[in-house]
Amino acid sequence: MSPDSLDFSFSQDLSGIDRAALLQEAAQRLDALGAHLGTGGGKTVTEEGQAARAIVDDVAEFAGYPQVYKITDKDFVKAKFTVPASFTKLTKDYTFYWLYFPVVLFPQYNWAFNRLEMEVKMRSEDPAPHKQPVAYQILPNQQFQTLVKADTNLEITLGENFEFGAKVPTLSANTGLLSGTIGAGVDVKGAAGAGLVLGPFNYHVKRAKIQHTTTGAERVFWRLDGAEFFQEDAPQPVIVARVPKDVKEVHIEASLYAYRYFNLASAGLQSAIASLPKALRLFFEGNLPLGSSATWDLTPSL
What pLDDT digit, counting tens, does each position of 90-99 carry? 999 999 999 9
pLDDT exceeds cutoff 60 at 276: yes
pLDDT in tens, 230-252: 988 899 999 999 999 999 999 99
Q: Can you give the pLDDT at residue 35? A: 59
pLDDT score, position 176: 38
Q: How far is CA 277 from CA 134, 160, 175, 267, 284, in A?
A: 45, 58, 60, 18, 11
- pLDDT of 151 > 80? The answer is no
> Does 20 have pLDDT greater than 80?
yes
Residue 131 pLDDT class (50, 70, 90 cuts) = very high
| pLDDT in the model for residue 127 | 93
Report, as an integer, the average pLDDT of 39-50.
Answer: 72
What's the rounded mean pLDDT across residues 115-125? 97
Task: Reply yes or no on whether the pLDDT at 177 is more than 50.
Answer: no
pLDDT band at 183 (very low <50, low <70, confident <90, very high): very low
Between CA 294 and CA 292 the distance in angstroms is 7
Residue 172 confidence class, pLDDT cut points 50, 70, 90: very low
Q: Answer yes or no: is pLDDT of 104 > 70.
A: yes
Please list the alpha-helical segments (H only) found in the chain. 19-37, 47-54, 73-78, 85-90, 188-191, 267-273, 278-285
Predicted confidence at residue 198, as pLDDT, reads 81
What's the whole-number mean pLDDT along residues 129-154?
87
- Identify the pLDDT of residue 214: 95
Average pLDDT, stretch 264-289? 89
On average, the pLDDT of the chain sits at 86
**Residue 12 binned pLDDT confidence (cut-offs 50, 70, 90):** low
Percent of the chain at pLDDT > 70 equals 86
Q: Structure pTM?
A: 0.87
Instruction: Give, rounded to a whole angstrom, the gap between the first and last alpha carbons of the chain.
Output: 35
Q: Which residues does 176 contact at the CB level (< 8 Å), separation at least 6?
A: none
